[in-house]
């Protein structure tokens, strides 16, 4: 009798285990609890651009009028403007001297975001894409100067370094102009495609910092007035967001350029933005068939982000706490 009871117990256990395994195959394993994106706090050690637009980029939602969002390893969400092949960041606009330092006045309708926030990188499939970031600066760029040249490039993400402009490569992120043309209102027209660099002589004059305003006045032969720009801060998605308000004289220059048409853009001019009041929904346009085969850009190094730019003296950009920053 005991032996029969034992056999029945063993057979019952086997049947129950089989049913559980069958149910697991049909229903699958339970999904782990998902992180609540609305309560997620930004970690300063995260890679730039690792935040999903739907929950973190409300202040950049207007960019959808001028381009599309993609996911690109290792940067996460990136934004690609709708432009012609020859377009490059920071090539259409002009420089003004302000109490915050040199500031880029862009003729691109999305410049209010992409040249005061974030990083740019040139992907071999997508082309130029912008990596969002929440830290405002009067201009997000790298500087270089030697002999009679002044050059700048959009700020690359941490871990990415552009080749020097005289080295060249598959693409050239630098806009290099004669120093005498630096203050031209269409400075991009004076871009030098093959700047010369002489070993010894040029190396002695090489500088990787914003141009000194006093030295620039002597170069161009007249004084440089301080442009009175205003900063308009607001709170968007529980984050501080700053937009630059240009004086009427500068805004007229921008409006005139926009009225002349945008040769850099494909098709008609996109509709006007909604000034950050949209709900922040962003469509993912990543080409699914190509995403796995796209080699990622060099991995970004984790580092604490720079402080916000607030004050400026003539010697260089300074953070809110007085730490000098390069443009």
Q: What is the pLDDT of residues 131-145, one digit of tens each?
A: 999 899 999 999 999
Read off the pLDDT band of 170 (50, 70, 90): low
pLDDT at 3: 53
| 94 vs 103: CA distance, rounded Å | 9
Q: Is the pLDDT of residue 183 over 60?
A: yes
What phi and psi, each to the nearest 5 degrees, are found at residue 59?
-70, -15
- What is the structure's pLDDT at 285? 58
**Mean pLDDT of all residues in the chain?**
74
- 286-313 average pLDDT score: 39
In the predicted model, is pLDDT for residue 221 greater than 60?
yes
**In the prediction, which pLDDT does 264 show?**
55
In sequence order, the β-bridge partners of residue 309 are 319
Q: What is the pLDDT of residues 43-67, one digit of tens each?
A: 333 344 444 455 446 778 889 899 9
Give me the pLDDT at residue 86, please: 86
- Give pTM, 2 decimals: 0.67
CA angle centred on 94, ends 91 and 98, rounded to 5°: 135
The answer to whether residues 140 and 117 touch, using CB atoms and an 8 Å cutoff, is: yes
Given a cut of 50, whether residue 165 has pLDDT beyond it is: yes
CA distance 230 to 200: 43
Residue owning tokens 């929950």: 55
Only one residue has tokens 């330092």, namely 101
* pLDDT interval class at 177 (50, 70, 90): very high
């Amino acid at each position: 009798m005991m032996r029969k009871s034992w056999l029945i117990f063993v057979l019952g256990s086997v049947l129950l285990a089989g049913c559980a395994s069958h149910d697991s195959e049909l229903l699958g394993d339970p999904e782990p609890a998902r992180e609540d994106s609305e309560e997620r706090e930004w970690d300063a050690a995260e890679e730039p651009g690792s935040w999903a637009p739907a929950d973190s980029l409300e202040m950049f939602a207007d960019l959808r009028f001028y381009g599309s969002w993609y996911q690109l390893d290792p940067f996460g969400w990136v934004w690609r403007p709708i432009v012609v092949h020859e377009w490059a960041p920071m090539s259409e606009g002009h420089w003004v001297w302000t109490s915050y330092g040199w500031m880029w006045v862009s003729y691109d309708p999305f410049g209010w975001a992409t040249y005061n926030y974030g990083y740019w990188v040139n992907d071999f499939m997508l082309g130029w894409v912008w990596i969002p970031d929440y830290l405002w600066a009067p201009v997000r760029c790298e500087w270089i100067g030697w002999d009679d040249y002044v050059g700048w490039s959009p700020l690359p993400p941490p871990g990415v370094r552009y080749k020097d402009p005289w080295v060249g490569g598959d693409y050239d992120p630098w806009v290099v102009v004669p120093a005498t043309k630096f203050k031209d209102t269409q400075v991009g027209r004076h871009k030098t495609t093959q700047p010369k660099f002489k070993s010894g002589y040029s190396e002695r004059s090489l500088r990787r910092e914003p141009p000194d305003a006093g030295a620039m006045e002597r170069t161009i032969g007249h004084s440089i007035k301080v442009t009175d720009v205003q900063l308009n801060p607001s709170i968007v998605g529980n984050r501080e967001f700053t937009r630059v308000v240009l004086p009427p004289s500068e805004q007229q220059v921008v409006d005139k350029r926009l009225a002349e048409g945008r040769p850099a853009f494909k098709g008609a001019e996109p509709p006007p933005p909604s000034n950050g009041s949209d709900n922040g929904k962003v469509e993912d346009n990543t080409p699914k068939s190509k995403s796995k085969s796209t080699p990622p850009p060099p991995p970004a190094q984790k580092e604490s982000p720079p402080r916000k730019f607030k004050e400026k003296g003539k010697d260089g950009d300074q953070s809110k706490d007085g730490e000098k920053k390069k443009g």
